[in-house]
Amino acid sequence: MGPPLLSGVAMRLLLIVGDNELSEIVVESVSHAVKTIELSSGAKIRLEIMRDNEVVYPTIKINGLSPIVITKPPNIVEIVKILRAHVEISELLRGKGPGGVRSHGVSGSLAEMSP
């Protein structure tokens, strides 16, 4: 599962869902994935769920980046991988590699991100 991530990473996760079965599955899967990441890494993830009855396919927006549209029930492992990658990227952008050591390059950190 990779090295433990640094604690204190803040991430905003906006989940836009409709009133359908796919949306309910996505809400449950994403909620479990968020708890998994928070417990395993110490990262702080603010999950906001916006309900819109006109939404057909749920959408995830992480830290205001381009939305990810979900067209089929997601695999929770894939959601965890996506969130872990965003946490690690946030750490790299803050100038710290995984494990709390300031990184002078990204090559070592990128190698640690691979499964």
Question: Beta strand 68-69 with 44-51: parallel, antiparallel or unpaired?
Answer: unpaired
44-97: pLDDT as tens digits: 999 999 999 999 999 999 988 899 999 999 888 999 998 888 888 887 877 755
CATH for 63: 3.40.30.10
Region of 64 please: left (phi>0), alpha (psi -120 to 50) or beta.
left
For residue 114, tell me if it sits in a domain. Answer: no
Total count of residues recorded for the chain: 115
**Would you give the end-to-end CA distance of the chain in angstroms?**
7
For residue 1, tell me if it sits in a domain. Answer: no
For residue 27, the one-letter residue type is V
In the chain, the number of structural domains is: 1
Enter the DSSP assignment of 65. -
Provide the percentage of residues in the chain whose pLDDT is more than 90.
46
pLDDT at 53: 94
Domain around 28: 10-106
For residue 98, the one-letter residue type is P
